[in-house]
Structure 1
Amino acid sequence: MVDRATNEFLNTERARNDENDLFAVIGKRVLGLSIEDEKEVEEDDRVKIVDEIPDSLCMNCQEDGVTRLLLTKIPFFREIILSSFYCEHCHFRNNEVQFAGTIQEQGAKYTFRIDNLDELERQVVKSDTAILRIEELDIEVPPGRGRLTNVEGILVEVLKDLEEGQKQRKKKDPELYEKLDAIVQSLIKMLNGGKFPITISVDDPAGNSWIEPSTGDAATKGKYSEKKYARNHAQNAILGLAEEMAATDGETIAEAERLAQDAPGEGGAMEDVDIIEGQTYDLPVECPGCTKPAHLLLQMVNIPYFKQVIISTTQCDLCGYHTNDVKTGGEVPEKGKRIWLDVERSEDLSRDILKSETCLLKVPECRLDVQPGTMGGRFTTVEGLLTQMRDDLRGKIFGTDEDAQPSDSIPAHEVKAWREFFSQLDKAIKAEIEYTIIMEDPLGNSYCQLFDEPGKDPQVRSEDYKRTAEEDEDLGLADMKTHLNEDGEYVKEPPKAADGK
């Protein structure tokens, strides 16, 4: 996250078109220097603020321009390269964002609902492989050049693109003009604060896009979500990974698919195989990370007082890709379920806990909220679940190195707040404090281990609740046929009894 002052400077710079000031100021901020400081930074082999590449070909006039590159790090995200090209001959300029790392092991989709004008300043990173959508207007921005901007900047860019050529359309195609004008007016209302909420999503199979989170998002259900997913073959092909596999190993995708279909318990053979509880099934699959052959391990587990679940893990011996997931079966229940677990002593840390992909998890004493879809399905212990959440959050803020310091662009009061948050979470992981874990699952697929028979464990409480219309819509249940009638057909509503009730 480039801090607010830097964002304001970026906006001013766009008006002034002063390329030198832009990189000088950002470069000094990366080093934690004051803009007013007139002392020049000595260049050495360890620190280089901006790299300049002279004699860069201008694609507009074919003359030579200058490209400037700046490496910086976005907190909660990763390192990026800001690039800027300017041609003094035709005054053509182009700013882009590129990524200093590699394609991530998994794709990522971020969704954010804007409810007020202040949230238009929330930062957005859109890589050249990402698809950005404005859901309310059903507008999709296809993959293109990388952008580092904010929500307001995204809306302004879309508005400018739609307004371009409207005068000609009004004469040549009035019908198309009217349709686009309605969208243009809606965008103007959004920018002026007259049309909320606004929901934007960024779906990037390369995993290199991002929407800035905030601690306030966790307090509002459905406001912010982050979902990691395994890429399919088509997405790997778009990223150039499938061709790399064929060129290096000489094994075609068709062969990998044939192996998967011929494997017991996969493809067409799955219908003829009974999954036996406790038995592990090893299925050959295509690795989502590197597209080379990998292993998918499946095992059915029967959880006492709950139901049967399928635990799966994907492992790749070549690139090291590894992911776990838990899937529950059975019919969709009529109601959701809330579960409360009071953690009072160290023995409670060993309780098995199943958090499904649709579950909202909260620990009020630690100010921890995990939105549905963020971590996928997890079947582990209380200690293991909290530890994983802590490590994931700490890695995004402080990096993987425990001694690493947060980025200079994070305000000091936020750094202090994060340190207090992790300190409290560490105490919870060690059971040094008492706290309550709350799980709210609209599909009722989450579970907490009981140390006694149902109803006799005083530390675990649960209740069924009626799902809201919004939850049914989000889960795709609003139009789903889930009830079996007398004719053996699935219908939306439950069949009526003989007395008509």
Structure 2
Amino acid sequence: MADRATNEYLNTERAQNDPNDLFAALGKQVLGLSVKDGDEVPEDDRVRVVDEIESLCMNCEDNGTTRLLLTKIPFFREVILMSFFCEHCHFKNNEIQPAGKIQEQGAKYCLRLETMEDLERQVVKSDTAILRIEELDIEVPPGRGRLTNVEGILGKVHQDLEGSQQKRKKEDPELYQKIDGVVQPLIKMLNGGRFPFTISVDDPAGNSWIEPSVGEESTKGKYVIKHYPRSAAQNIELGLHGEVVSKDEEGGSMEDVDIVEGQTYDLPVACPGCTKPAHLLIQMVNIPHFKQVVISTTQCKYCDYYTNDVKTGGAIPEKGKRIWLDVKSKEDLSRDILKSETCLMKIPDCAVDVQPGTMGGRFTTVEGLLTQIRDDLRGSIFETNDDDAPPDSMPEAGKRAWKKFFDGLNKAIKAEIEYTILMEDPLGNSYCQLRDEPGKDPQVRIEEYERTAEEDEELGLTDMKTHLNEIGEYVKEPIKATNLES
């Protein structure tokens, strides 16, 4: 119904001849409708904010009307808003669909709500996403795509659960009590009486989203994004059927191969983006005063997919590690820095807060890491034009906040201001290059800290049993302390 109308529209002459204007932000589309007094503009020359297409009603099989709005969502990407109405049977249907392709990786967004303002954050749940209210163990399975806010999501779940409660109360009191035990806490969440609580959106297609705010530094773990490679089963569910890598493309096996430091190894893999044959380049690097790390890069010639990551090896240390780097001059921008995928990174002077898992592992320079943070945010927030202007649909307060944020980040990248970088890694796998012997660089401070029980649980260390005791049972491996300066 709506899907068919969407496909028909995207194949029209307007969509083919004017692709750059299809997804103008809503404010710009409205501006295109303004006409000076006394001017007569032909209807065909005006910007049409909403397109109407006659389409089949799947309820009564008569013709209804599908309305399409193609627009951009700030911080996100292009989407198609669809609304169907049949005047014959009065059937209605509203949906949202991502206008772009399936993303190269899946994405999971987690938000811990702490104030009433958090209920107003926008949420995009695509038709492939699973939404969870963690504290209530409620899961909304993949289905119709929605563009709403957190309050709207909670309200819809409440409406669905409450719908048949009166009937259940009479026919199945036990089931009524169980559902009421979920409905009442849900009502408190909607009224602001049960903070904090957490919602998550997990989308293997990478086309769902929860709205962030500037800095997102108020509470550790408040807003977390994790990108992940899809499994073979998820690719099949999304209609991405991988190609088999032939023997000619295998390029040999890593079995019985000694990995030599500094040598690059080329392995055939399936591209996480399009599942076609790609190349995984691996190299082992020894970082002075730290440890050996494995740097990997995946490249695909078919879809231009490119990503890099860094993995550290060795035993799990007994304690976590915190590193502070005081950046005071341009020379500090060239320091090597390794941020592992388990590392929390903060720059309080610039309102930067990178949660564990958000960027994966990165081994680069201070300048390179800050530049990547800036470019990733800029690409998702700014319009695709030369002015780098925030979307005109963004509130003025948001525009000012993001402008201030990027101005500060640009100054940090150029070392025009002094600031401090904090890296907190519960596995101690992050690193900052020293200008002198360990313990003698005045701009770098390192300390060990005891991991919390929550961190051990998240890292899977609580139940890790790899040591065989004297009676033949596997127990938790005793961890030996490591020397920071070794």
Normalised TM-score (structure 1): 0.83
Q: Aligned residue for 2:287?
A: 303
Aligned equivalents of 1:402, 1:374: Cα separation in 2: 27
Distance in 2, Cα, partners of 1:223 & 1:143? 24
Instruction: Give the 3 Å change call, closer, same or farther, for CA 257–473 of structure 1 in structure 2.
Output: farther
The CA deviation at 1:38 is: 11
When residues 490 and 441 of structure 1 are mapped into structure 2, their CA distance, relative to the original with a 3 A threshold, is farther
CA–CA distance in structure 1, aligned partners of residues 455 and 246 of structure 2? 36
The SS at the match of 2:79 is strand
Counterpart of 1:50? 50
1:248 aligned partner: none
* Residue 488 of structure 1: how far off its partner (Å): 8.2
- 1:61 aligned to 2:60? yes
> Does the aligned pair in 1 maintain the 2:346–2:353 contact within 8 Å?
yes
Cα distance 1:404–1:451, how it changes in 2: closer, same or farther (>3 A)? closer
Does residue 213 (structure 1) correspond to residue 212 (structure 2)? The answer is yes
Corresponding residue for residue 17 of structure 2: none
Matching residue's letter, 1:67: T
How far, CA to CA, are the matches of 2:138 and 2:120 in structure 1?
A: 20
After superposition, the Cα gap between the structure-2 partners of 1:139 and 1:276, relative to the gap in structure 1 and judged at 3 Å, is same
Larger mean Cα displacement after TM superposition, 395-404 or 147-156: 395-404
**Cα gap change, 1:343 to 1:121, in 2 (>3 Å):** same
Q: Is the 8 A contact 2:327 2:421 kept in 1?
A: yes
- Whole-angstrom CA distance in 2 between matches of 1:41 and 1:445: 67
**Residue 240 (structure 1) aligns with:** 239
TM-aligned CA deviation for residue 230 of structure 1: 1.6
How many angstroms apart in 1 are the aligned matches of 2:320 and 2:472? Answer: 26
1:256 aligned to 2:251?
no
Out of 377, 380, 403, the residue aligned to residue 364 of structure 2 is: 380
Partner of 1:363: 347
> In structure 2, what is the Cα distance between the partners aligned to 1:112 and 1:34?
37
Q: 2:258 aligns with which of 269, 274, 290?
A: 274
Instruction: Show the counterpart of 2:147.
Output: 148
In structure 2, relative to structure 1, the CA distance for the partners of 1:40 and 1:414 (3 Å cut) is: farther
Structure 2 residue aligned with 1:480: 464
Q: 1:358 to 1:482 in 2, by over 3 A?
A: farther
SS of 1:256's equivalent? coil
Identify if the C-alpha distance between structure 1 residues 411 and 241 changes in structure 2 by more than 3 Å, giving closer, same or farther: same
2:421 to 437, 450, 453: 437
1:96 Cα deviation from its structure 2 partner: 0.7
What do residues 397-439 of structure 1 show as CA deviations (whole Å, max 9, x unaligned)?
1145442422112122322332222222222212222221111
The residue that corresponds to 1:123 in the other structure is: 122
Deviations 1:325-350, CA, capped at 9 Å, x for gaps: 11111222221111111112212111
The answer to whether the Cα contact below 8 Å between 2:345 and 2:355 also exists between their aligned partners in 1 is yes
Contact 2:214 2:351 in 1 (8 A): no
Does the 8 A contact of 1:108 with 1:205 survive in 2? Answer: yes
* Identity over aligned pairs, percent: 72
2-structure distance, mates of 1:300, 1:39 = 71
Mapping 1:47-446, distance limit 5 Å: 47-54=47-54, 56-170=55-169, 173-215=172-214, 217-242=216-241, 251=243, 255-256=244-245, 263-265=252-254, 269=255, 272-446=256-430
CA shift in 2, pair 1:444/1:412, >3 Å? same
CA contact 1:287–1:316 (8 Å) conserved in 2: yes
After alignment, is 483-492 or 299-308 more displaced? 483-492
- The 1:192–1:365 alpha-carbon spacing in structure 2 relative to 1, beyond 3 Å, is closer
- Structure 1 residues 220 and 257, CA gap change in structure 2 (3 angstroms): farther
Deviations 1:213-258 (A, max 9, x none): 012632210110111122222111111121xx5xxxxx4xxx3398
Q: Using the TM superposition, give the Cα deviation of residue 60 of structure 1 relative to its aligned residue in structure 2, in angstroms.
A: 1.9
CA change 1:344–1:217 in 2 (3 A) is: closer
Instruction: State the 1:291 CA deviation.
Output: 0.8
Q: Secondary structure at the match of 1:153?
A: helix
Residue 465 of structure 2: SS of its match in structure 1? coil
Deviates more, 1:481-490 or 1:191-200: 481-490
Task: Summarize the alignment of residues 447-458 of structure 1 with structure 2, pairs less than 5 Å apart.
Answer: 447-458=431-442
Native 8 Å contact 2:347 2:422 kept in 1: yes
CA contact (8 A) 1:110 1:225 kept: yes
Q: Distance in 2 between matches of 1:204 and 1:379?
A: 27
User: Any gaps of 5 or more consecutive residues in structure 1?
Assistant: 1-25, 246-250, 497-501
- CA distance in 1: counterparts of 2:148 and 2:262, whole angstroms: 50
- Shift in alpha-carbon separation, 1:372–1:260, aligned structure 2, 3 A: farther
Determine helix, strand or coil for the equivalent of 2:217. helix
Structure 2 CA distance for aligned equivalents of residues 99 and 373 of structure 1? 24
When structure 1 is superposed on structure 2, of 116-125 and 379-388 the one drifting more is 116-125
The 3-state SS of whatever aligns with 2:186 is: helix
* Offset at residue 45 of structure 1 (A): 4.3
Residue 169 of structure 1, CA deviation? 4.3
1:130·1:143 contact (CA, 8 Å) conserved in 2?
yes
Check whether the contact 1:75–1:396 (CA below 8 A) recurs between aligned residues: yes
Structure 2 counterpart of 1:462: 446
Partner of 1:18: none
How many angstroms apart in 2 are the aligned matches of 1:299 and 1:494?
31
Aligned amino acid, residue 212 of structure 1: E
Cα offsets for 1:109-168 (capped at 9, x unmatched): 101011233311111000011111111122211111110011111112122222344445
Contact 2:251 2:267 survives alignment (8 Å) = no
Segments of structure 2 that go 5 or more residues without pairing to the other structure are 1-24, 481-486
C-alpha spacing 1:259/1:212, structure 2 compared with 1 (3 Å): farther
Q: CA deviation at 1:449?
A: 0.7
Deviations 1:288-336 (A, max 9, x none): 1111001111111111111111111111011110000111112222211
Q: What is the CA RMSD across the aligned residues, in angstroms?
A: 2.9
Q: TM-score, normalised by structure 2?
A: 0.86
Whether the aligned pair in 1 keeps the contact of 2:33 and 2:47 (CA below 8 Å) is no
Is the deviation greater in 135-144 or in 375-384?
135-144
Structure 2 distance, partners of 1:40, 1:97, is 36
Cα contact 1:75–1:410 (8 A) shared by 2: yes
